[in-house]
Amino acid sequence: QAGEAVPVAQRGSWTSFLKAIASMSGDLSSLTAPPFILSPVSLTEYPAYWCERPELFAAIADAKTSEERALAVLRWFISTLKGQYTTRNESVGSEKKPLNPALGELFYGCWPDKDGRGQTRLLTEQVSHHPPITAYVIENESKGVKLVGHNAQKTSFSTGSIIVKQIGHAVLTVKLPTGGEEQYLLTLPRLRIDGLWYGAPYIELTESSYIVGGGFVGVIEYKGKGYFSGKSHSFKATLTPRPGHGGSATKEIVVEGTWHQNSKFTSGGHGQFHDVSMPNEIVTATGGEAGGEMGSMETRKLWELVAKGIREGDFELAQREKSRIENEMRQRRKDEAASGVPWALKHFTPLANDSVYEELSKNTKIAPPTEDAYVFQENWPESLK
Ligand code: CLR
């Protein structure tokens, strides 16, 4: 039944929200949604999903050959998908609408050292508000593994589902024991958000994403119920050696399975490839100010009362605080326009092209030919040094 999972009092506003989504395309972050679907978490916190298995991120550095390394990168990548795309359903029953970050919003965190894997640190900055773009760095310095990326979304509506095209990419840099380094370009899957009619949205991944580097082109194809094995969250990843791009492998490797459970080699290897039944480790949020305090632009400080309102069902508080923040930001933009001094980003420098992306995506099916880059300024706060 329509709106079955929606609190009765909010069914009308859920229907209006769906109609609004159906008739617009692009950015739905600014649409007003009914309270039951609101998440108290801002999108600036989502990059943390890249490292909820810090041991797999660190393991990339321990690989002995370029083939082992390419497999370690793929294993880490696939193992993040469960967290990235099923967490909200698991923890709060359905996909939710995250808070739309303010320009300059920040999030800092880390996963402490354990079993000699080293500390991994995370820094996120909202580098654009219109359209919303989030840039991030995740680094395990002791292992020499670093991920720098940015994310945006373009949404459309098709046969009852929201289609989310992810814009942006990430570059993973791995220091090699021999002194050099290897870089991998990662592109992102497309999302289909189903279950809207019932008011219980959930994500399925579709189409494909790429991991290119270390002498391999990796293509990951995503399918839901009724394809491949017929199971939800299915994928098939193919690593093809790329002559003349480093590495010495000659054989193709294929792994297949379900990304939220496990997978195995179906060609070029034997046995299990990945398994995410072990619990993940959520990030420890760290303030970026002196003494580890949180500054006024740090997400958990900025949205504190909005999040409290949403968590405790005090939607009047949430709405009031949200309007206050939005008005403050609008005023800030007006003042900047009047003074001619635009907002200065704290950690990233925007560039119109990304030479690593251009180089690695050459002669692959990755499009477009170039993308924006957000170059990290290597200025970690004291608390994360
Ligand atoms: C952000 C980048 C992360 C992976 C990720 C997971 C969930 C996505 C989110 C990204 C972007 C925003 C998103 C969200 C799921 C729902 C939400 C698409 C890609 C939209 C804006 C909200 C839709 C509202 C419905 C829930 C009704 O690495």
pLDDT of residue 3: 87
Q: Which of ligand 1's atoms lies nearest the C-alpha of 166?
A: 19
pLDDT digits (tens, 9 = 90+) for 277-312: 999 999 999 999 998 899 999 999 999 999 999 999
Residue ID of nearest Cα to ligand 1 atom 8: 85
Distance 338 CA to ligand 1 centre (A): 34
Mean pLDDT for the stretch of residues 9-20: 94
User: If you measure from the C-alpha of residue 221 to the centroid of ligand 1, how many angstroms do you get, rounded to a whole number?
Assistant: 20
Ligand 1 pocket test, candidate residues 191, 203, 206, 310, most atoms within 8 A of CB: 191
Query: How far apart are the C-alpha atoms of 136 and 169, rounded to whole Å?
Result: 11
User: Which residue minimizes the CA distance to atom 26 of ligand 1?
Assistant: 96
Closest-lying ligand 1 atom to the alpha carbon of residue 151:
2
Q: Is the CB of 41 under 6 A from ligand 1?
A: no
Determine the residue of 36, 163, 192, 193 to mutate for testing ligand 1's pocket, defined as the one with the most ligand atoms within 8 A of the Cβ atom: 193
Task: Single out the residue of 143, 94, 137, 88 nearest to residue 114, CA to CA.
Answer: 143
Lowest mean pLDDT of 27-31, 169-173, 176-180, 304-308, name the range: 27-31
Tell me what ipTM this predicted complex has.
0.98
* Least confident stretch, 8-22, 36-50, 259-273: 8-22
pLDDT at 380: 98
Atom of ligand 1 nearest to the CA of 96: 26
- Whether the CB of 151 sits within 6 Å of ligand 1: yes
Whether 59 is in the pocket of ligand 1, judged by its Cβ within 6 Å, is no
In whole numbers, what is the pLDDT of the chain averaged over residues? Answer: 95
Q: How far is the CA of 3 from the centre of ligand 1 (A)?
A: 20
Close Cβ partners of 35 (under 8 Å, ≥ 6 residues apart): 10, 310, 313, 315, 318
* CB 66 near ligand 1, within 6 Å: no
The verdict on the CB of residue 300 being under 6 Å from ligand 1 is: no
Predicted pLDDT at 235: 97
Find all residues with CB under 8 Å of 383, minimum gap 6, and list them.
108, 286, 287, 288, 289, 291, 292
The pick from 17, 46, 124, 190 for probing ligand 1's pocket by mutation, whose C-beta has the most ligand atoms within 8 angstroms, reads 46
pLDDT, position 233:
97
* pLDDT of res. 1: 66
SS3 84: helix
Region 239-258 average pLDDT: 87
Residue 222: which residues within 8 A CB-CB, separation 6 or more?
Answer: 189, 190, 204, 205, 206, 207, 208, 209, 234, 235, 259
pLDDT one-digit tens code per residue, 353-367: 999 999 999 999 999
Confidence at residue 335, expressed as pLDDT on a 0 to 100 scale: 98
| Ligand 1 close to Cβ of residue 49 (< 6 A) | yes
Structure pTM?
Answer: 0.97
Q: Would the CB of 95 count as within 6 Å of ligand 1?
A: yes
CA of 188 to the centre of ligand 1 (A): 13
User: Phi-psi region for residue 159, left (φ > 0), alpha (ψ -120 to 50) or beta?
Assistant: left
